[in-house]
Amino acid sequence: MSRKYFGTDGIRGRVGSSLMTPDFALKLGWAAGKVLAKNSNPLVVIGKDTRISGYMLESALQAGLVAAGLDIKLVGPMPTPAVAYLTRTFRASAGIVISASHNPYYDNGIKFFSSNGTKLDDAIEEEIEAFLEREMATVESDHLGKASRVDDAAGRYIEFCKRSLPNTVQLNDLRVVVDCANGATYHVAPNVFEELGAEVITIFDKPNGVNINHECGATSLENLQEAVKMYRANLGVALDGDGDRLMLIDEKGEVVDGDEALAIIAQHRLQRDGLKGDIVGTLMSNLGLEQAINKMNLGFHRADVGDRYVMEKLRACNGVIGGEGSGHIIIRDRIETGDGTIAALQVMHALIDSGKPLHELKQVMSKYPQVLVNVPIKEKIDLDASEEIQQSVRDVEETLGSRGRVLLRASGTEPLIRVMVEGEDHAETSDLAQQIANTVRQVAA
């Protein structure tokens, strides 16, 4: 069955149009409720980020679920991974997060977690979509669900994050600047680091409903870079609006991306615990990460882009650590979803144990220059069937040899072909990327 509503990360769109309307959220809540009512504990945990539209969508989802006979636990503004954790602790049938992650405030989304805190299986999403095509009907009044608020949700999650480090680890020697993106981590992440002993300076922690991700957070690092230098901090932590990803800033004000954080965590875990299992990146992971992991005598696998696919590959290879350059990092023996706060703690643990600054730790991998060119297209192109495009790719791969790699992929959200080339020399890499892009433009014309 081809899915009509669910994408790779739930359902997302502009508020007031597309699917982010109260009437659709009402019907979605009811459809999900009809599917989840079959479970032994018909209970759903609902959390959200700090977008103003979250109130509207939360109320509509709540009404739909109650109409289908499900009980609800409302946890308020909470990071996405916190909702995954609370779903497990309440033994709920599912968790729902109302968030559009790093998108601007005028977008929003609805994504589901299974009872064990992982993404819903495709089969369940398809079953929900089937109910969306049916006429909505409310259960009898004595079977209606009830909703209640969880007042201590933040405290539960803070303690969970702290337990992801050994009891003997203290962060007393670290000064940390935390950029909360005016999002869902504003009242949890700074407390986690502070309660573990770090000196914490917090910025962008005053959400007002419309300032989420605005010139702050994991997609806009300039302010954090300046703050780290101004406060002479050991590191900066930038979280995104829903707290499932991070970017780091070292003591020199330089960016440490998801690939570099992944390499630091893998090396530390290998040295401390004798890490077992392979490491998972994505098709977009830097070649330098793959080479660094291979030097550790660990296997490296590439999944499709998206934390859902990273998780699938980790399960398939029995791996523990995986992630994306954009900052989604999964530490499976801590939590089975991307968690920016917990990933940051793993890096801080490496800093404490090694006694080395972050700038030195990130030298565990040498990043290859990576050039990405987006080529607009009017109609879908079969990249594999185009001999001109494939010949252009072969020519570039022959030029690079073992010094780089090429990746072509169609965007899943926009009418674009993404051309990515990595190589040792930035100027050469840029020229080669444009060479393939020009061929794609000619074929698309």
Task: Provide the CB-side half-sphere exposure for 400 (13 A, CA).
Answer: 29
Length of the chain: 445
What does the alpha-carbon distance between residue 420 and residue 407 come to, in Å, rounded to a whole number? 5
SS3 155: helix
**What is the helix (H) or strand (E) element at residue 352, kind and residue range?**
helix 340-354
Report which residue type is found at 27.
K
Query: 62 phi and psi, to 5 degrees?
Result: -60, -45
Q: What is the dihedral of CA 194, 202, 77, 312, to 10 degrees?
A: -80
Letter for the amino acid at 439? T
The secondary structure of residue 412, as a DSSP letter, is S
**Cβ pair 233, 227 in contact under 8 A:** yes
Give the whole-angstrom CA distance, residue 417 versus residue 397: 18
Rg (alpha carbons) of the chain, rounded to whole number: 22
Element holding 429 (H helix, E strand): helix 426-444
Catalytic residue annotation: 101
120/316 Cα distance (integer angstroms)? 17
